[in-house]
């Protein structure tokens, strides 16, 4: 009897021991948008791939819609190690002291995704990600969202229509300058608060790609939307550096592969997700969608070009020039 008990205890210990050895590494991945957006879908894709490739050694918990943290808090939580991964918009790294990401906010700096990928998939983009390391953060990839439209309760068809309007922006000095250059009043606000601010009239309008607007129902509280495509919004996928560097090498290799696969997926679906959202906004009949003519768009471009020069001292003239070089953009040719 005693021997049986002993054997039983040893077996139980063995089981417990191996269970403990196999306890998965948990990655909390927090973000602020809806699950049904390019970033929401890509983070779920990453979860699936990471769990598959690590054969269960890693469990990824995705928290969408600011369920865990809002914009500013999530970066603090990552640095403290309360979450392991995030994918903040490139417009949100200024308060952390990494101003270079704001180069992506410069109005009309990218004509399209092809221009953008020359930067995000090349040495200039990689160089910007590296700037995160002294902050205890490792930059893993860029994920696309898309090009922004302006929305408001009175039509925005010309740069002059922005004058005097309070517009919600992300926490980027370039975006602040963009709105001021048009004579508007920029209001920095967390993404989770935008719908209510639009609904109650705390702000008059905003800017975002269509997938963000539609999934937050912003179109239900905004009468007009203008397809200005005046700037890009995308993400840096980042991890707590101590956590990432401390992973077993095989697991980190699997996660790098999972990230490569999810980046390809994110960048494949971003445009179609935004197109679908625009169609859904049109179909709702709640917002009047305006497509500016070529000349009307050019008027926005010309009005916003001074922002590039004004922000040189903040972002770095060389960095701006290196992006022009990658994309062939020449502000003088407008």
Q: Which residues bind ligand LMR (CB under 6 A)?
A: 32-33, 39, 89, 145, 170, 191, 208, 212
In this structure, the number of other CB atoms found within 10 A of the CB of residue 330 comes to 8
Residue 62 Cβ vs ligand LMR, minimum distance, rounded to whole Å: 14
User: From CA 285, how far away is CA 62, in angstroms rounded?
Assistant: 33
> Exposed, middle or buried by CB within 10 Å (0-12, 13-18, 19+), for 332?
exposed
Question: Which C-beta is closer to ligand LMR: that of 58 or that of 203?
Answer: 203
Residue 245 Cβ vs ligand LMR, minimum distance, rounded to whole Å: 26
Residue 233 Cβ vs ligand LMR, minimum distance, rounded to whole Å: 6
Question: Which C-beta is closer to ligand LMR: that of 151 or that of 212?
Answer: 212
> Exposed, middle or buried by CB within 10 Å (0-12, 13-18, 19+), for 198?
buried
> 151 and 224 in contact (C-beta within 8 Å)?
yes
Residue 46 Cβ vs ligand LMR, minimum distance, rounded to whole Å: 15
Give the CB-nearest residue to ligand LMR. 89
Residues contacting residue 177 through CB under 8 Å, at least 6 positions apart: 307, 310, 311
28 bridge partner residues: 61
| Helix, strand or coil, per DSSP, at residue 82 | coil
> 219 and 287 in contact (C-beta within 8 Å)?
yes
Classify the C-alpha dihedral 236-240-241-243 as positive or negative: negative
Question: Which C-beta is closer to ligand LMR: that of 151 or that of 240?
Answer: 151
Residues contacting residue 258 through CB under 8 Å, at least 6 positions apart: 46, 49, 50, 52, 53, 54
Residue 158 Cβ vs ligand LMR, minimum distance, rounded to whole Å: 24
User: From CA 321, how far away is CA 56, in angstroms rounded?
Assistant: 45
Residue 230 phi/psi, 5° resolution?
Answer: -85, -5
Question: Which C-beta is closer to ligand LMR: that of 58 or that of 238?
Answer: 238
| Helix, strand or coil, per DSSP, at residue 227 | coil
Question: Which C-beta is closer to ligand LMR: that of 33 or that of 141?
Answer: 33
Residue 235 Cβ vs ligand LMR, minimum distance, rounded to whole Å: 7
Question: Which C-beta is closer to ligand LMR: that of 31 or that of 57?
Answer: 31
User: Token pair of 258, please?
Assistant: 């999972």
Question: Which C-beta is closer to ligand LMR: that of 206 or that of 240?
Answer: 206
Residue 170 Cβ vs ligand LMR, minimum distance, rounded to whole Å: 5
Residue 262 Cβ vs ligand LMR, minimum distance, rounded to whole Å: 16
Question: Which C-beta is closer to ligand LMR: that of 169 or that of 320?
Answer: 169
Strand 58-63: give its sheet, edge to edge: 58-63, 25-30, 85-86, 232-240, 137-147
Residue 218 phi/psi, 5° resolution?
Answer: -60, -30
């Amino acid at each position: 009897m005693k021997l049986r008990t002993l054997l039983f205890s040893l077996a139980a210990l063995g089981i417990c021991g191996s269970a403990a050895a196999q306890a998965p590494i948990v990655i909390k991945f927090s973000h602020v948008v809806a699950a049904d957006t390019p970033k929401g879908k890509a983070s779920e894709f990453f979860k699936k791939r990471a769990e598959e490739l690590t054969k269960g050694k890693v469990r990824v918990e995705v928290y969408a819609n600011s369920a865990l943290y809002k914009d500013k808090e999530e970066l603090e939580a990552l640095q403290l190690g309360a979450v392991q991964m995030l994918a903040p918009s490139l417009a949100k790294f200024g308060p952390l002291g990494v101003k270079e990401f704001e180069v992506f906010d410069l109005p009309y700096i990218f004509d399209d995704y092809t221009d953008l990928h020359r930067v995000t998939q090349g040495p200039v983009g990689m160089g910007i990600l590296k700037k995160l390391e002294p902050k205890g953060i490792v930059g893993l990839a860029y994920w696309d969202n898309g090009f922004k439209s302006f929305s408001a309760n009175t039509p925005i068809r010309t740069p002059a229509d922005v004058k005097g309007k309070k517009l919600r922006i992300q926490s980027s000095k370039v975006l602040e300058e963009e709105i001021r250059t048009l004579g508007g009043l920029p209001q920095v606000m967390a993404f989770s608060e935008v719908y209510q601010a639009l609904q109650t009239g705390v702000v008059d309008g905003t800017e975002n790609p269509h997938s963000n607007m539609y999934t937050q129902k912003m179109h239900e509280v905004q009468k007009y939307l203008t397809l200005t495509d005046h700037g890009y919004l995308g993400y840096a996928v980042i991890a707590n550096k101590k956590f990432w560097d401390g992973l077993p090498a095989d697991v980190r290799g699997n996660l790098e592969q999972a990230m490569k696969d999810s980046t390809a997926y994110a960048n494949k679906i971003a445009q179609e997700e935004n197109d679908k959202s625009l169609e859904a906004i049109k179909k709702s009949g709640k917002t009047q969608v305006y497509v500016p003519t070529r000349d009307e768009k050019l008027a926005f471009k010309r009005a916003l070009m001074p922002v590039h020069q004004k922000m040189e001292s903040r972002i770095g003239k060389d960095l701006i020039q290196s992006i022009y070089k990658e994309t062939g953009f020449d502000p003088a040719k407008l």
